[in-house]
Amino acid sequence: LIPVAVLGATGAVGQRFVQRLAKHPWFELTQLIGDATAGSAYGDVPWRLEDPMPESVASLRVEGLQALGEAPVVFSALPSGVAGPVEARLAAAGRRVFTNASDHRMDPAVPIVIPEVNADHLDSIDRSKGFIVANGNCTSVILSLAVAPIHRAFGIERLDVTSLQALSGAGYPGVSSLDIADNVLPHIAHEEEKVESEPNKLLGSWQGGFRSAGIPIRATCTRVGVREGHLESVHLQLARDATLAQVREALESFRGPKDVAALPSAPKRPIHVLDAPDRPQPRLDAGREQGMAVSVGRLRARDRDVRFVVLGSNTVRGAAGASILNAELAKVRGLLD
Amino acid sequence: LIPVAVLGATGAVGQRFVQRLAKHPWFELTQLIGDATAGSAYGDVPWRLEDPMPESVASLRVEGLQALGEAPVVFSALPSGVAGPVEARLAAAGRRVFTNASDHRMDPAVPIVIPEVNADHLDSIDRSKGFIVANGNCTSVILSLAVAPIHRAFGIERLDVTSLQALSGAGYPGVSSLDIADNVLPHIAHEEEKVESEPNKLLGSWQGGFRSAGIPIRATCTRVGVREGHLESVHLQLARDATLAQVREALESFRGPKDVAALPSAPKRPIHVLDAPDRPQPRLDAGREQGMAVSVGRLRARDRDVRFVVLGSNTVRGAAGASILNAELAKVRGLLD
Amino acid sequence: LIPVAVLGATGAVGQRFVQRLAKHPWFELTQLIGDATAGSAYGDVPWRLEDPMPESVASLRVEGLQALGEAPVVFSALPSGVAGPVEARLAAAGRRVFTNASDHRMDPAVPIVIPEVNADHLDSIDRSKGFIVANGNCTSVILSLAVAPIHRAFGIERLDVTSLQALSGAGYPGVSSLDIADNVLPHIAHEEEKVESEPNKLLGSWQGGFRSAGIPIRATCTRVGVREGHLESVHLQLARDATLAQVREALESFRGPKDVAALPSAPKRPIHVLDAPDRPQPRLDAGREQGMAVSVGRLRARDRDVRFVVLGSNTVRGAAGASILNAELAKVRGLLD
Amino acid sequence: LIPVAVLGATGAVGQRFVQRLAKHPWFELTQLIGDATAGSAYGDVPWRLEDPMPESVASLRVEGLQALGEAPVVFSALPSGVAGPVEARLAAAGRRVFTNASDHRMDPAVPIVIPEVNADHLDSIDRSKGFIVANGNCTSVILSLAVAPIHRAFGIERLDVTSLQALSGAGYPGVSSLDIADNVLPHIAHEEEKVESEPNKLLGSWQGGFRSAGIPIRATCTRVGVREGHLESVHLQLARDATLAQVREALESFRGPKDVAALPSAPKRPIHVLDAPDRPQPRLDAGREQGMAVSVGRLRARDRDVRFVVLGSNTVRGAAGASILNAELAKVRGLLD
């Protein structure tokens, strides 16, 4: 078992990290770092996920960052802004950092990885040293997964996306109930920039440097009063003609590389295509394959005009689960040796 | 005062008609038609709007359709499907029918009218006989209002819209609370077809026949857990270059024809442009100008790529208020003589 | 395996029956009865529970009541009013009917059973014939479970209860989203009568006839915008002095008879006492022990004045799970032979 | 016009103060105090009420407490804890302080006043000096208003209350949306102590000192996902027999003293009795008489056992409106001279 620590272990994403690492077959959760609650037993910190806190972590003590021990692998659920310098320092000191924070995503030396999509971007890592591997922004990951097989098969010339994002995406306490009750918020700070840039890094190629996929992406990001599950309405213009059946087949048959499919956290099928006209729905579909699969529905295609909605668990596939899957990939590709 | 009747007077839209006609300066509400509750006093039918029922209508008796009296002007809040034959029969019998139902909207003899946008489409009416004038689908009206000045000034080559629609748009009882609690529904039956066709009739021209504006519209319509106010994320590609300031100016300065601006139900400004980054919001902005103005926010423009969100009251500007404004326009243009 | 049928199999409670019977160790689900959808495959009827429909039932065909076959045990999720005559006829024909409907609950020949509380009420059944065994109203069951050990230990002289009931208690489609959004409904038709009478039958004794426990119960029942889990604020006046520790101990140590504790659907502990001041909460606690345990929190006691809140899953412990547990008890007590 | 200042002017209750003072016939809003936003124009601070910010206040500058000028009357919307020493200091310096904070409510020198109920408690004030007049806790005020006429007419021997309190009662940002979505919180810190003590001071008498009304009150306070309007389920045991009609009449006919009824903020009828079985509802009834009247519904009486639900606007009648009405009373009784 490889010892791992979680930074920011008591927040919304941090709790997802802890939940999914508590019984991990390869990683052993040895430290929970949380400056605000340092000194408390983890079991005494309010737990906000539906399933009960894993018993094995309740007795762990939350510690301050300065107490970070030997764990060679560090998962970071730190807030963006705070994360940047901390992660840089840890990497410089030889740690392998898998981060959910946005600070380093567009760094030329940091890959954004979705194992099923661009596992080869790990080639950018110099394995002789510490490093940072980022997962994308929650909305970007869910979008990129759904779009990857279409982009590969038919090319994408234009992408318009409007997201309906869940409350858990804002962390805890996050959105005030007074702001969202009987309401929608039509803006999420700094979100659209990420959604318009990250997928192009992800879907692009590594050739000694990262080359953008060059898709013009236009995003509008909104917040709705749903606890978990980002829903995205995606309108595409393809580079080549495709029938509805062909697009559907590309989505359904999409699988990552063989070694990715065998990772402990990998879903059996990264993308599920739903045919019921009123699916996917956040409450019913966000948890598909333990939250690691995305659900595509309302698939429509006409000439080069393709539309669908895609839903994914923002705190799992779009955050903690994404980072853990990246670490699993790093392990099988020899980066944690 | 012109005597008017409301068909379907007890539903969600019907109540809005009654609310806005109760003290109308030109129309006198003389009959409330509602088959399911015929025989009851209107005051005994459950009232579901925030403001109390106008006292003047509480004592009116709900009657069945066969009891429809002399009123020359009829407002129809009948459900689509039911509305079609009833309205056709009434028009054939010489009534002036202003309808919120979709059945006749795409008829070659029926105009869809937004007075500020296409008042001249009333020219299609043969004033010697009964007729039907439709307002657009709620989502279409709000979209068309916001898009009209941009289309006029710069041309629109492509329009992608994702709507986040309110519960009241589904009527009463409409959406089950069990379906929408902590959830979003990614589909509204038959809605997208309307949103992709009606604006083109509305924004097109009347030249002895209706000519489509020919804008390729791609719509995805979703339902969110909000009581009132449809929010729409609109992405446009213009035919000509425009700066952000020019687009903003086109929206802000938009006014209908002079006689429209003077109608009792007309808003002072049909479109309000909001600069706060987190507006418009359904709860805070749907009621602007008694629900008759739409609010545009998050306006972004880059080359020919324009994006914004628009919000409007679906039961007022998108339904009852729209029909009443149409009837007011018909009056000043001599169609009710 | 004993063949069983479910009446009303497609409603909110009916789906819970199907979910919990699909893999039952003693019962085999052989027929799904649902008049409105008779002829459809069960897998084609909309499924509204979070967990996916059990695969084994998807291919079963929904049938009309007249097609009811040989199953000796029938679970009834029929709506009250409809249920009464149907259940009476089935019992008269020799079936063992376990019903969630209220129609027969106060019949002198029908016991209301909570196995942990009044398993001996099954003695009222003449096992030579068909019969009806009822579970209580959802609010009554949850209340009675929590109150039973206190009543036994200290006596209860007065009980005031205000319930905050979940949407699923109204069935599907049930409460309109327009009625409950940003709102509370202070009334549930016919609920308070049940809550004031049923616990007295349940907590009373069987001595050739049912004797009421005689507790003066005063109930106010409200509906809140929560999907699952009835929360009840309970204020008691005891007949004898008790310390907080004594009341807590009575609740914590409460277990049913030995044979009840071994039933497949029985929770390990029927009552969990939570010490966190902000628990129980519907979203976090309704699913405790697969929904079969109730959670008591905010326990306060001062002289003979005891207060607490109790939460339970209304569709499981308060409905389908309750009926199934009753049938399990009937089996081990020889009533299904 | 009497110059007045508002402390804590930018919070949820502070905004209600500003909204209701902006056009007050007797008071002139001259200063807005808010330490966190001192220096901003009030119009630049986020406004969270449905109706737009009054134009007259948008240009006022928010100032720090140390900049408090000459205003002889100060309204305090400070958070409890912070409020205590500040208000004491201001009163000692000769100001007339009308406070919504709880810090001084149980002080022997500070009256809690509901003008319709205990206007004579102002006799406790030494008008030669500065002073503090408190309004009760929101839940207490709404409860006390409804209970006052029953207590006077029939006496109350026992009072059990369960509250379903709105989100705005927790201030802004207050309750996290993640905590309350699809949920109820069964506890509000320090609330029950207030609800069990304040009404007894309010309903008691001033005889050189405050004498408690001596009603044994048992409260359970919960939070529900509603924006505005506290609903309370009240169970009473009377000291004397009363019919339903008598209790109803006591509530309906209740009026304050003559000079109170004429105050600018006083409702025409402090208590409205609703006969519809499903009323009052927060969304439909909290705004009654500009939020200054409470609504009683579901009135049931049997022997000495009386039950009802009462609803009131927690930020208006239970907070800002209550304080302003107290100041109006103080003026007509000569305390502001």
Is residue A236 classed as helix, strand or coil in its secondary structure? Answer: strand
Inter-chain CB proximity D176 and A175 less than 8 Å = yes
Which residues on chain D are in Cβ contact (under 8 Å) with B181?
A: 182
Residue C249's pLDDT is what? Answer: 98
Task: Indicate the pLDDT class of residue A21, thresholds 50, 70 and 90.
Answer: very high
CA C104 – CA C87 distance, rounded (Å):
9
Share of chain A above pLDDT 90, in %: 96
Q: What is the pLDDT of residue A179?
A: 97
Task: Give the pLDDT mean for A97-125.
Answer: 97
Instruction: Let me know how many helices (H) and strands (E) chain C has, helices first.
Output: 11, 14
> For helices A138-154 and A191-203, what crossing angle results, to 10°?
40
Here the tokens at position B81 are 């499907």
- The pLDDT, as a whole number, for residue C213 is 98
- Residue C23: what pLDDT? 93
Look at the alpha carbons of B210, B214, B220, B223 in this order and tell me if their dihedral is positive or negative: negative
Q: Do B177 and C182 touch (CB under 8 A)?
A: no
- pLDDT value at residue D94: 96
Neighbours of A59 (CB within 10 A): 9
Confidence of residue A50 (pLDDT cuts 50, 70, 90): confident
What is the token pair recorded at A229?
């599950």
Kindly report, residue by residue over C125-157, the tens digit of the pLDDT: 998 999 999 999 999 999 999 999 999 999 999
On whether the CB atoms of residues A3 and A30 are closer than 8 A, the answer is yes
Per DSSP, which regions of A249-327 are E strands? 271-273, 294-302, 305-312
Residues of C in contact with B180 (CB under 8 A): 177
State which residue of chain C sits closest to B170, comparing Cα positions: C178
- D85: Cβ contacts below 8 Å, ≥ 6 apart: none
Residue C204 half-sphere exposure toward CB, CA atoms < 13 A: 19
| Interface with chain C: mutation pick from A50, A183, A228, A278, highest number of C CBs within 10 Å | A50
Please report the pLDDT score of residue A321 as a whole number.
Answer: 98
d(CA A301, CA B10): 40
CB contact under 8 A, A220 and B164: no
Start-to-end CA span in chain A (Å): 12
Nearest CA in chain D to B49: D284
How many contacts (CB atoms, under 8 Å) link B and D?
9
CA-nearest of B171, B141, B192, B193 to B322 is B141
Does C138 qualify as catalytic in the annotation?
yes
What's the gap in Å between the CA of C270 and the closest CA on chain D?
A: 20
Q: How many CB atoms lie within 10 A of CB B302?
A: 10
Pairing type for strands B2-7 and B27-33 reads parallel
Query: What is the reported pLDDT for A51?
Result: 85
Please compute the mean of the pLDDT values over residues A12-27 and round it to a whole number. 96
Q: Which of D138, D151, D221, D272 is catalytic?
A: D138
Picking from B151, B142, B152, B155, the residue whose alpha carbon sits closest to that of residue B271 is B142
pLDDT, tens digit, for every residue of D157-168? 999 999 999 999
Given a contact cutoff of 8 angstroms between Cβ atoms, the answer to whether C289 and C269 are in contact is yes
Residue of chain A minimizing CA distance to C177: A182
Q: Which of A181, A184, A281 sits opposite B231 (nearest CB)?
A: A184
Q: At D250, is the pLDDT very low, low, confident or very high (cuts 50, 70, 90)?
A: very high
B53-63 residue pLDDT tens: 999 999 999 99
Residue B8's φ and ψ, nearest 5 degrees, are: 75, 45
pLDDT at C205 over 90: yes
**What pLDDT does C203 receive?**
98
Q: Let me know: does A140 contact A192? Beta carbons within 8 Å.
A: no
Listing from the earlier edge strand, what are the strands of the sheet with A230-238?
A: A217-223, A156-165, A230-238, A305-312, A294-302, A271-273
- Label residue D14 left, alpha or beta by phi (over 0 means left) and psi (-120 to 50 means alpha): alpha
Could you read off the pLDDT of A128-150 as tens digits, one per residue? Answer: 999 999 999 999 999 999 999 99
CB atoms D186 and C297 under 8 Å: yes
Whether the predicted pLDDT of C48 surpasses 90? no
Q: Residue D50 — very low, low, confident or very high, per pLDDT cuts 50/70/90?
A: confident
Pick the residue with more confidence: A337 or D261?
D261
For residues A2-6, give the mean pLDDT. Answer: 98
Rank A47-56, B43-52, D86-95 by mean pLDDT and report only the highest.
Answer: D86-95
pLDDT of C50 higher than 90: no
List residues bridging with C75 in a β-sheet. C6, C98
Sequence letter at residue C212 = S
Q: Read off the DSSP letter of residue C44.
A: G
Residue C289 CA, distance from chain mean position = 15
Q: Which chains contact D through at least 3 pairs of Cβ atoms less than 8 Å apart?
A: A, B, C
Shortest CB distance from A182 goes to which of C182, C284, C287?
A: C182
SS3 content of chain A, % helix, strand, coil (to 5): 35, 25, 40
CA distance A161 to B162: 9
Over the stretch B202-215, which tens digit does the pLDDT of each residue have? 999 999 999 999 99
Q: What is the largest CA-CA distance in chain D?
A: 60
The pLDDT value recorded for residue D293 is 98
Is C221 an annotated catalytic residue? Answer: no
Rounded CA-CA distance C188/C80 in Å is 14
| Interfacial residues of B (vs A; Cβ cutoff 8 Å) | 160, 162, 164, 181-187, 189, 218, 220, 222, 224-227, 231, 233, 235, 277-284, 297-298, 305, 307, 309, 311
Chain B residues whose C-beta is within 8 A of a chain D C-beta are: 50, 181-182, 283-284, 287
- List beta partners, residue A206: A210
- As for the ipTM of the complex, it is 0.96
**pTM for the structure as a whole:** 0.96
Q: Tens digits of per-residue pLDDT, C64-91?
A: 999 999 999 999 999 999 999 999 999 9
Identify residue C73 by its one-letter amino acid code.
Answer: V
Q: Does D51 score more than 90 pLDDT?
A: no
Is the per-residue pLDDT at D52 higher than 90?
no
Other CB atoms closer than 10 Å to residue B174's CB: what's the count? 20
- Which residue in the set B181, B283, B287 is minimally distant from D182, CB to CB? B181
Among C104, C151, C230, C272, the one annotated catalytic = C230
* Neighbour-count burial of B66, counting CB atoms closer than 10 A to its CB (0-12 exposed, 13-18 middle, 19+ buried): exposed
Per the model's pLDDT, the better-predicted residue between A127 and C319 turns out to be C319
Please check the confidence at residue C169 and state whether its pLDDT lies above 90.
yes
Contact residues, chain C, for A283 at CB < 8 Å: 50
**Rounded CA separation C245/C268 (Å):** 22
Q: Name every chain C residue with its beta carbon within 8 A of the beta carbon of D167.
A: none
Composition of chain D by helix, strand, coil, percent to 5: 35, 25, 40
Q: Of A104, A121, A151, A230, which one is the catalytic site residue?
A: A230
Sign of CA dihedral C221, C226, C229, C234: negative
Chains contacting B with at least 3 CB pairs below 8 Å?
A, C, D
Average pLDDT, integer, range B14-41: 96
Q: What is the mean pLDDT of residues D31-48?
A: 93
Which chain A residues contact residue B309 at CB under 8 A?
A: 186, 220, 222
C-alpha dihedral over B240, B243, B249, B250, to 10 degrees? 10
Give residue A52's pLDDT band: very low, low, confident or very high (50, 70, 90).
confident
- Banded pLDDT at B281 (limits 50, 70, 90): very high
Instruction: Find, among B325, B244, B286, the residue nearest to B24 by Cα.
Output: B325
